[in-house]
Chain A
Amino acid sequence: MAVLVEDKLLHLWETPKNLKGQLGTVDHKEIGIRYLFTAFGLFLAGGIEALLMRTQLIQPENTFLSPTTFNQLFSMHGTTMIFLMATPLLFGFGNYLIPLMIGSRDMAFPRLNAFGYWMFLIASIFMYSSFAIGQAPQGGWFAYTPLTETKYLPDLGIDFWVLGVMLQTISTTAGAINFIVTIFKLRAPGMSIDRMPLFVWNILVTSFAVVFGYPPLTAANIMLEADRLFGTAFFNTAKGGSTLLWQHLFWLFGHPDVYIIFLPAVGIVSSVLPVFSRRPIVGYSWVVWATVTTGILAFGVWVHHMFATGLPVLSLSFFGAASTLIAVPAAVQYVAWIATVWRGKPWFSTAFMFCLGFLSLFVIGGVTGVMFAMVPFDQQTTDTYFVVAHFHYVLFGGAMFPIFAGLYFWIPKMTGRLMNEKLGHLSFWLIFAGFNITFFPMHIVGLLGMPRRVYTYQPGLGWDTLNLVETLGSYILALGILVTIVNFFWSKSHGEEAGPDPWHGESLEWATESPPEPYNFRIIPAVQSRNPLWDQPVLGGIYNERHETLDTSLLDADAQHRLKMPHDTMWPLATALCIGTIFIGLLLQHIILCWFGGLLLVVSLNGWLWPTPEFFEE
């Protein structure tokens, strides 16, 4: 009987291994892995850009790179790491893990999920094709006007940037909406909202921040592209426009975006730390409230990016205070993590080491962050390497270290094999040392007055040795990342068999096979605790042998309905290609291409939404 059920489920849920199956798959695990791979590839691209820049800065008056190339590299480095790497990588974890953690068979909108990935891929190719024609963006990752207006940067670089970011915004928003609905409606029966794993909470808050945080950027991008394409006057001061309007809208997005990257990353920490401390997290409710509070406060601090733009003093004081306030929920979470380790019996695996690395680096990044909230200090250090040091401690220390922890923690789930611990520890120490050697001296060189984004500097300013050290550190950092890559490929075929639950985890993803079957769970689990695998000796549940998952109530997760789930389909890919065509038309100012893409878009959306025969079955 049991075997029969599994065969039946496999037959219903499996994606065929042919090309059609691969292009049409809507399996959240496959899509999640694609997100992770593509985003990691972009992490390497952004990393190579950084290494090239560091090589240029190894000594004063170096001529390794031209000023234009250097501008292109720092613009694409920031854009890649923020838009094309960090969020997609974390959404990759989310796509793979959320349905497993909440005991569902897929995301709420599996086709939208596939669409989100294709849009991300198209956005990345779109953005990087600018290098191929030698017109990469040069406006920095925040593309300040008036520099980015046609008058000052007439080539296609900024158009690539604006349209590419808009494409990626479509992908991110689609992903966020999918997460919100999945988390609200598809949780396993009994997983009331106060029993959700913390990673799920963090993805939920992040998704809300995306829904409300990305639109200001889209508004700003619409205005900038209209200025560039049609000659409107949004940022043209001679015609009543304002360059500060860009900064307000950009940072109204930009600061929440820091937390859009940071929150899922600390969600990983909140998942990994308790497992390797061998106890539940201390202060679950406090951590949840801190996460929600951070998500809300994130929208009230954007002006601290603009302290040097001559705003009224009252405004500076208000935003200075708000920016200091946001340290409070961060500290609450921090204390919860420390207490969890303290009260537990730590197991020093590689994933745990990366969490400890995060804890130590995040303090430094957090403290310099509070320093920036002090207006006079900020005005002294703005646009210096001190800022570069700060945000790398926050974003590399605060997001990449948790991401590495997450990779070492969950890759065994994805591949079925453990990563090598010796190589893992080696990689950790190289990355940790390399990171600090690269970025700590930037604090000093920044206080000594070195501005960011300069392609070279003169000797004798006291910056030479520090820059040399930074560059050497970046090579060590790169070596550390390389070790993890080698470890992954070696372990994928030679690693120890992981089994379903190698770490004795507490959340539902560890109740599945490694890698999980296409249908995730043979029986949709019924949850009675925050740590079901630790507290429930027998994980009972709900039988369902169809291509369906369960629809549960929003807060208490009572089973309400069966949901018919869509099958593999090419329409999401077709839709993404149509949108890509429209954007290529806009880039090349080719109006016929835009209309053509628009017309096909209507056709593919109809194809997507057209009901399948199953829709009519009761």
Chain B
Amino acid sequence: MPAMGISPTIRGHELSTRVSGEKAPSYWGVISLIATEAALFGSLIFGYYYLASSSPHWPPLGLHPPDIYHGAIGTCLLFTSSIPMYFADVSIRRGKTLQMMIGLSITMLLAAFFLGIELTDYAASDFGPQENAYASLFFTITGIHALHVFVGILLMSALMLRGWLNHFNAHRHQAVENVSLYWHFVGAVWAVIFSSFWIFPRVI
């Protein structure tokens, strides 16, 4: 199809610079980052089930699956923390910085509690990562996830600082949306980890 003639020339200045959501490049950047991170966790979990399938007992004899109550409480905290995060995201779209800061604070608090429970459980564990392959998987996979939670807290601290300096308004809030996407992903990954380490050994 030969296209002829002079193409329509739009004056570039007529276009807006207010870009957010699915139209913003950084949104797609974060989605791609999440995709590659999901593949990383997927590969680690593949390792978990691969070794589980070749072991006669899972966890190996002498070890017990991690405490179900602590695990359940942690899971509740992390899942719940997505709600204030969502609230923060929705608030800043309406230009309400204070409400965004409140949402972020609650999310950070819940995340910190989650990490607290996890670290106490690590400290109270009667085996270390060197014990056997199961123990290595447990500490490595939950540890990498905990690192993600910690990074989430750092990201939210940066958002708090920038919110305090009034960097965001109803038209400029892509950073908040990006962190929010990341945070929901950290919660979603935990669902897979919790099912694999806490539930799977109890139902097989």
Contact = CB atoms under 8 A, between A and B. Distances in A.
Q: Do A and B bind each other?
A: yes
Interface of A: 108-109, 112, 173, 176-178, 180-182, 184-186, 189-190, 211-212, 214-216, 218-220, 222-223, 226-227, 230-234, 236, 239-242, 245, 248-249, 252, 523-524, 526, 528-529, 535-544, 548, 550-551, 553, 559-564, 602, 606, 609, 611, 615-618
Contact of A529 (B1, B28, B136): B1
Given A181-B29, A535-B2, A236 B15 contact: no
A233 B136 contact: yes
Contacts of A562: 12-13, 15-17
A523 B11 CA distance: 11
B60 interface: yes
Contacts of B55: 240
Interface of B: 1-13, 15-19, 23-26, 28-29, 32-33, 35-37, 39-40, 42-44, 46-47, 50-51, 54-55, 60, 129-137, 139-140, 144, 154, 158, 162, 167, 172, 175
B22 to A, nearest CB: 8
Given A215-B39, A242-B133, 20 more contacts: A185-B28, A190-B7, A211-B39, A214-B36, A215-B36, A215-B42, A219-B44, A219-B47, A223-B47, A227-B136, A230-B129, A233-B136, A240-B55, A240-B132, A526-B9, A540-B6, A551-B24, A562-B13, A615-B167, A618-B17
B152 to A, nearest CB: 13
A350 B43 CA distance: 44
10 A-B pairs with the lowest CB-CB distances in the bound complex, closest first: A528-B3, A544-B12, A219-B43, A232-B136, A540-B7, A215-B39, A215-B40, A240-B133, A526-B7, A241-B133
Contacts of B32: 176-177, 180-181, 211
Given A211-B35, A606-B158, A542 B10 contact: yes
Interface majority SS (helix, strand, loop, mixed), chain A: mixed
Contacts of A218: 40, 43
Contact of B15 (A177, A561, A616): A561
A560 B33 contact: no
A321 B134 CA distance: 34
Contacts of B37: 215
A232 B162 CA distance: 41
9 contacts: A189-B10, A215-B36, A227-B136, A240-B132, A245-B51, A252-B46, A523-B9, A561-B19, A615-B172
A558 B128 CA distance: 56
Nearest to A538: B6
Nearest to B32: A177
B42 A550 contact: no
B39 A212 contact: yes
A176 B10 CA distance: 31
A233 B133 contact: yes
Nearest to A107: B25
Contacts of B25: 108-109, 181-182, 185-186, 551, 563
Contacts of A252: 43, 46
Nearest to A617: B17
B140 A542 contact: no
B125 to A, nearest CB: 14
Nearest to A536: B3
B158 A561 contact: no
Contact of A602 (B5, B40, B154): B154
Which interface residue of B44, B135, B154 has the most chain A CB atoms within 10 A? B44
A543 B11 contact: yes
Contacts of A212: 35-36, 39
Contacts of B12: 524, 542-544, 548, 550, 562
A609 B158 contact: yes
A212 B40 CA distance: 8
Nearest to B16: A561
A214 B29 CA distance: 17
Given A215-B43, A233-B133, A529-B3, A540 B51 contact: no
Contacts of B136: 223, 226-227, 232-234, 241
Contact of B17 (A177, A541, A563): A563
Contacts of B15: 550, 559-562
Given A177-B29, A544-B12, A609-B175, A222 B7 contact: no
Given A538-B6, A543-B9, A609-B158, A242 B140 contact: no
A218 B41 CA distance: 10
Contacts of A176: 32
B167 A611 contact: yes
Contact of A542 (B9, B35, B42, B130): B9
Nearest to B59: A240
B8 A526 contact: yes
B1 to A, nearest CB: 7
Given A233-B136, A249-B46, A550-B12, A541 B7 contact: yes
Contacts of B144: 222
A514 to B, nearest CB: 24
B17 A240 contact: no
Contacts of B33: 177
Given A526-B9, A540-B7, A240 B36 contact: no
A528 B18 CA distance: 27
Nearest to A234: B136
